[in-house]
Copies of this chain bind each other. A is one copy, B any other.
Amino acid sequence: MFVVFASENCWLFNRISAILTDMEKKVIKKIQEAVGQANLLTDVEDRSCYSYDASSQNFMPDAVALPETKEQVAALLCLAEEYGFPVIPRGAGSGTTGGALPVQGGLVIGFSRMKRILEIDPDNMIAVVEPGVVTGELQAALKKYGLMYPPDPASLKFCSIGGNAGECAGGPSAVKYGVTRDYIIGLEVVLPGGKIMRTGVRTEKGVVGYDLTRLFIGSEGTLAVFTQLILRLLPLAETKVTFLLSFSSLAQATRLVAEILAAGLMPCTLEYMDKTAVQVVRDQITWQPPEKTAALLLVEFDGDQAEVAQQAQKFADFVWQKKNCTLRQAADEAEIKELWQARCSIAPACLHLRPHKIAEDVVVPRSSIPKLVQFTEQLAQELNLIILTFGHAGDGNIHVNIMVDKQNQEEYNNGCKAKEQLFERVLALGGTLSGEHGVGITKSSFLAQELDATALSVMKQLKKLFDPHNILNPGKIFPAH
């Protein structure tokens, strides 16, 4: 089992159901004692549910623990250090870069039994939660108190706060409200070896000692395991107005993004879809964008009634002066849903074009969006590929989906080539390879292209400081060589 093979980087499918050595039996028994028999999964059927995530890759864990307390998590990390097996913390498996996959086998720790909202403090606009809390469920619970936790990843109906924190997830609202990092002010974590530690504060400000909280946010489960998170909240926005803008010119749409923000307008959504994305969703939606649509922008403003009315008017006037698009305003909740349909249908619909996608969440300075999109169009033509671009234009975070059929070797190779050229171009434009999905395993071989050699070396030393035996989520972020 993992005791023997952990360092050999191999995938031990179904090994537990085969004959175990005495040593392996002993470790399994210890893990069972640590979390209780009911919280340990070793059957292949159970384990297989934890073998994949949204990256479409598959690695079987040797066992899965579902601890109920921080003490159980600590006991597991203590055992992992003693017996040298990998531990892979897992949120809800909605990550797209393989962050939660047991690429070297080992023990997956799931948090579906640590999903309590421990505290909602409306006076101080603070919540304390366990890592397994589903982001959307937290948002619903907060609504009753007139509060909101803004980060809204597309997977919010099933992703967890712990996973969001591990990857520093974003979402459409980031353009106005920022990302996960901006809302986590304190943590309780378990370190490799099993020590429990508290970081940060439960106040709006705090500068005592080094900022361990933000060092852990976005560290993709490689430095520490979260067992509690302290969140800062905002008053719930009273209402929202939704606009859809259709353009017959892609360049006009992408240019408008920077102009909207420069004009001091502060939308809480500023999403973009290119022509291919629009075509792909035509069959999935109950309304039809104008025939010659080259790009769509979905723009929303939130706040109290008066504020939203005023922003909406200002925005409509602003767009009107541009005279380069058609503007549609949603009249009610039903119409808002209808307009969002287009944006939300892209992910499932694009798989009608090709069975697989290479999906990247690159970021460029907003003013370079037109250049980036133009480049992907060129790439598609040169390499004979279908490439969609859409996403969070407001913060320059463009989702690029390169559609391929993996059975078609030439197409797949071209897809990989396109990804490489895309990354090169993004970096040349002053951008970054990931805005919200992290590095995981799918981007680790490109890390050195973005990071300065010294920074990469410092990060490796940090990993070694926290996790000297490379037990916590090994094989992630850093390239193997």
Contact = CB atoms under 8 A, between A and B. Distances in A.
B124 A366 contact: yes
A74 to B, nearest CB: 11
Contacts of A121: 365, 367
A348 interface: no
Interface string A104-138: 00000000000000000111111000000000000
A119 to B, nearest CB: 11
A460 to B, nearest CB: 10
Interface stretch (A3-11, A61-69, A193-201, A290-298): A193-201
A436 B207 contact: yes
A203 B168 contact: no
A419 to B, nearest CB: 15
Contact of A211 (B146, B214, B454, B465): B214
A357 interface: no
A451 B208 contact: yes
A254 to B, nearest CB: 12
Interface string A144-159: 0010000000000000
Interface string A442-481: 0100010011101110110110011000000000010000
A235 B264 contact: yes
Contact of A204 (B123, B204, B395): B395
A437 interface: yes
A380 interface: no
Nearest to A477: B209
A394 B146 CA distance: 19
A455 B307 contact: no
Nearest to A174: B205
A435 interface: yes
Contacts of A314: 304, 306
A442 to B, nearest CB: 12
Given A235-B261, A454-B197, A455-B197, A205 B123 contact: no
Interface string A168-182: 101000110011011
A94 interface: no
A481 to B, nearest CB: 17
A279 interface: no
A454 B191 contact: yes
A396 B204 contact: yes
A435 B205 contact: yes
Interface stretch (A31-39, A403-411, A426-434): A426-434
B203 A365 contact: yes
B197 A458 contact: yes
Interface of A: 121-126, 146, 167-168, 170, 174-175, 178-179, 181-182, 191, 195-199, 201-212, 214-215, 217-219, 223, 235-236, 238, 258, 261-264, 266, 304, 306-307, 310-311, 314, 363-367, 392, 394-397, 430-439, 443, 447, 450-452, 454-456, 458-459, 461-462, 465-466, 477
Which 3 pairs from chain A and chain B are nearest by CB?
Answer: A205-B435, A204-B395, A123-B367
17 contacts: A122-B262, A167-B207, A195-B454, A197-B452, A201-B431, A202-B365, A204-B396, A205-B396, A206-B435, A207-B439, A209-B451, A210-B462, A211-B219, A212-B459, A235-B264, A238-B264, A307-B307
